[in-house]
Amino acid sequence: MSAVTDDGAAPHVSVEGLAVGYGDRVVQSGLDFGIRRGSVFVIMGPSGCGKSTVLRAMVGLLEPRAGRIRYGGTSLWDAAPERRDELRRRFGVMYQGGALWSAMTVVENVSLPLEEHTELDAWTIRRLAELKLALVGLSGFEDFYPAEISGGMNKRVGVARALALDPEVVFFDEPSAGLDPISARRLDDTLLALRDALGCTMVLVTHELDSIFHIADDAVMLDPVSGTMIARGAPRELLETSTDERVRRFLRRGEA
């Protein structure tokens, strides 16, 4: 994929002057970035810098302090509730902790969005759910409950559920954290294949460098101290050209 360039086309997702926080505390502010349609975009930064918080604002769970988040021109937080729901229906979200519905089996977790939002028959829904589970390497675990599978497997079910409706934009909060290197690479390959096949835009929060260099087209780096973004661009270019010490250290595994 090409590096970050302003190719003229309007971005699929654009974040303009975003500020987010809890209570009296502003966690991140002054965020500005665009995400091209069909690209893989990574939000990176040290633990606790506010990546998940930014993601929560982007999916419509946490109201921003300031700024806008636009999807194809529509501002998520200024839209009427029905319109916001309509936008959300085209999202897939994978939570950092999995957030599986614990009273349902693995396959039911993946099927529920399909049952709720499509008119498909039960056979097709079951097959679709099985396909998504197979894509994350979980064939054969369909009828287990979330409590009966491991933490990493829970995460992968979360990924499968996020992909259930072939969404236009998928958000993943640290999909490969806690996975072994082989499963992590497989997951990255699956995400790339899905992006190529379905043309969806992917927004990932991660600090796995392997993942970042392997799949990210563009990235932003958030900084916990200044509470804003300190770098934006393709990860390889940032590694080669960035003059910011914090960015270089991060991308070189802490070596100066």
Partner 1 sequence: MAAQAALVRARDGARLVLHPEGAWTLAATLAPLPPLLDELFDAELRQVRFDCSALAAWDSRLVVFAREVAQRCAARGVAFDADGLPDGVVRLIALADGAAGRRDGAGHLAERGFLRELGEQAIAFLRSAGELIEFTGAATVALVNMLRGRARFRYRDMFRVMQDVGAEALPIVSLISVLVGLILAYIGALQLSQFGASEYVANLVAIAMAREMAAMMTGIIMAGRTGAAFAAQLGTMTANEEIDALRTAAIPPIEFLVLPRIVALVLMLPLLAVYANLMGIFGGALVGLTYLDIDPLQYVTQTREAVTLTDFGTGLFKAAVYGVIVAVSGCLRGMQCGRSAAAVGEATTSAVVTGIVFIVVASATLTIVYQVLGL
Ligand X SMILES: Nc1ncnc2c1ncn2[C@@H]1O[C@H](COP(=O)(O)OP(=O)(O)OP(=O)(O)O)[C@@H](O)[C@H]1O
**Which residues lie near ligand X (CB under 6 A)?**
22, 27, 47-53, 96
Question: Whole-number minimum distance, CB 231 to ligand X, in Å?
Answer: 15
Query: Would you say the C-alpha torsion 162, 69, 60, 31 has a positive or negative sign?
Result: positive
Print the SS3 string covering 67-83. Answer: EEEEECCEECCCCCHHH
The smaller minimum CB distance to ligand X, of residues 48 and 199, is found at 48
Task: Decide which of ligand X, Mg ion, partner 1, none touches 27; Cβ closer than 5 to 8 Å per partner kind.
Answer: ligand X
Within 10 A of 233 (CB to CB), how many other CB atoms are there? 19
Binding-site member from 1, 79, 112, 209 for partner 1 (CB under 8 A): 112
Residues 6 or more apart whose CB falls under 8 angstroms from that of 245 comprise 256
| CB nearer partner 1, residue 85 or residue 244 | 85
41 binds, among ligand X, Mg ion, partner 1, none (CB under 5 to 8 A by kind): none
Of the candidates 155, 64, 145, the residue with the CA atom closest to the CA atom of residue 106: 145
Give bridge partners of residue 70 from the DSSP assignment. Answer: 14, 75
Say if CB 229 and CB 253 are below 8 A apart.
Answer: no
> Shortest gap between Cβ of 66 and partner 1 (angstroms)?
22
| Interaction of residue 11 with partner 1, rule CB under 8 A | no
Which tokens in the block code for residue 111? 């099927």
Would strands 13-22 and 25-35 be described as parallel, antiparallel, or unpaired?
antiparallel
Q: Which of residues 126-145 bind partner 1 (CB under 8 A)?
A: 127-128, 131-132, 134-135, 137, 139
Decide if 44 contacts 253 (C-beta within 8 A): no
Label the pairing between strands 13-22 and 66-71.
antiparallel
End-to-end Cα distance, the chain: 28
Provide the minimum distance between the beta carbon of 179 and Mg ion in the complex, in angstroms, as a whole number. 16
What mask of x and - would describe binding to partner 1 in positions 195 to 224, judged by CB under 8 A?
Answer: -xxx--------------------------
Binding site for Mg ion (CB under 5 A): 52, 96
Instruction: Name the residues that contact partner 1, by CB under 8 A.
Output: 56, 59-61, 85-86, 88-89, 91, 93, 95-102, 112-114, 116-121, 123-124, 127-128, 131-132, 134-135, 137, 139, 150-155, 158, 161, 165-166, 178, 186, 189-190, 193-194, 196-198
